[in-house]
Amino acid sequence: LENELNQVRKLESIGLLAGGIAHDFNNLLNGILGYSEMLVEDLEDRPELQNYARVIGQTCRRAADLVYQLLSFSRKGKRKSVSVDLHALLGEVVSILRRTIDRRIEIKLNLAAVHHGVLGDPSQLESALINLGVNARDAMPGGGKLIFETQEDEPDVTFCTKHGLPPGRYLKISVCDDGSGMSPETLDHIFEPFFTTKEPGHGTGLGLAAVFGTIKSHNGLTRVHSELGRGTTFHLWLPLQDGGAAVEEETADTCAGRFS
Ligand code: ADP
């Protein structure tokens, strides 16, 4: 336990450091990403070069993802709080994933006809959803189906009490794959920082810890169902915003009670 605590502390310092440069760093990455996407479009008739440009884009995504994972461990991290159109955000996430992951994975988006605004940080939410998509991809090496779905949900009091969720209206986002699934033993650990079943260099074990923390700091809930050999579904509940007025750059301690 002492060891684990030290590791988490170390990560927090990295997070603080990353926090200082993350914004500038992400701007740099977005520049490279934007130009690499233009290259991909322009190189239709040069498949080999087009593939190089695609790899540049994928690598930028991975770098941006790493920044997100490190940042989510920063206790002093500032979180934006603006009105986020989650359906537009999901559209963006799906288009990023379609551009970057294996074509043998079919990605579907089923959006509910509900009011879908939440208050929060769009880039954190986007990173969390991309993380879930990338994990699903890793669970479907031979291809498969990845579905993003939303529905309005008003969980009953028993559910809310059990999971410490304030009663109210939520947007429930489900991310579902028909990949490898997980054993109950793996499931027990997936939200722990550093837990990974992937080869060294292929996983940090921080992705789901970061997703969990992001959703919690948005006053939401993350749950998962998985069956070995059948697939996995992550459910995220985010409180629906009724007002609609944007609140700019509110400062919040995003880590309060993260792993409780
Ligand atoms: P990483 O992806 O770096 O391993 P994560 O925290 O994102 O770290 O995930 C932890 C572990 O949870 C993964 O190594 C994998 O074993 C398991 N996992 C996560 N998502 C899925 C999924 N969709 N299907 C099967 N296993 C998954």
Cβ-based burial of 14 (10 A; exposed 0-12, middle 13-18, buried ≥19): middle
What is the per-residue pLDDT for 252?
A: 42
Q: 3-state DSSP call for residue 173?
A: strand
Q: What is the dihedral of CA 50, 137, 115, 118, to 10 degrees?
A: -90
Whether 204 lines ligand 1, by a CB cut-off of 6 Å, is: yes
What is the per-residue pLDDT for 6?
A: 65
What is the per-residue pLDDT for 256?
A: 35
Phi, psi at 206, each rounded to 5°: -105, -15
Ligand 1 atom nearest the C-alpha of 234 is 23
What is the per-residue pLDDT for 99?
A: 83
Among 68, 135, 223, 258, the mutation site with the greatest number of ligand 1 atoms within 8 A of its Cβ is: 135
**Residue 153 pairs with which residues in a beta bridge?**
170
CA distance 76 to 51: 39
* Confidence band for 3, pLDDT divided at 50, 70 and 90: low
CA distance 137 to 141: 7
119 CA to centre of ligand 1 in angstroms = 27
178 CA to centre of ligand 1 in angstroms = 14
**Residue 168 pairs with which residues in a beta bridge?**
none
Q: What one-character DSSP code corresponds to residue 155?
A: -
249 CA to centre of ligand 1 in angstroms = 32
The chain-wide mean pLDDT, for the chain, equals 84
- What is the total residue count of the chain? 260
pLDDT of 146 higher than 90: yes
What is the per-residue pLDDT for 145?
A: 97
205 CA to centre of ligand 1 in angstroms = 7
| Residue 81 structure tokens | 């709080």
| Residue 62 structure tokens | 């991975």
pLDDT of 189 higher than 90: yes
Least confident segment among 5-14, 109-118, 171-180, 242-251: 242-251
pLDDT digits (tens, 9 = 90+) for 218-259: 999 999 999 999 999 999 999 998 733 333 334 443 333 333
What is the per-residue pLDDT for 62?
A: 83
- How many Cβ atoms are within 10 Å of 9's Cβ, its own excluded? 11
Residue 100 in contact with residue 58, Cβ under 8 Å?
A: yes
Ligand 1 atom 22: the closest Cα is on which residue? 136
161 CA to centre of ligand 1 in angstroms = 28
User: H-helix or E-strand containing 151?
Assistant: strand 144-153
Q: Which amino acid is at 114?
A: V
CA distance 200 to 202: 5
* Confidence band for 130, pLDDT divided at 50, 70 and 90: very high
CA distance 125 to 28: 20
50 CA to centre of ligand 1 in angstroms = 30
pLDDT of 162 higher than 80: yes
Percent of the chain with pLDDT over 90: 55
pLDDT digits (tens, 9 = 90+) for 191-206: 988 899 998 878 888 8
Whether 232 lines ligand 1, by a CB cut-off of 6 Å, is: yes
Residue 252 in contact with residue 81, Cβ under 8 Å?
A: yes
What is the per-residue pLDDT for 187?
A: 95
pLDDT digits (tens, 9 = 90+) for 48-92: 999 999 999 988 888 887 777 776 665 444 567 899 999 999 999
Residue 184 in contact with residue 226, Cβ under 8 Å?
A: no
What is the per-residue pLDDT for 259?
A: 35
What is the per-residue pLDDT for 17?
A: 64
Number of helices (H), then strands (E), in the chain: 7, 7
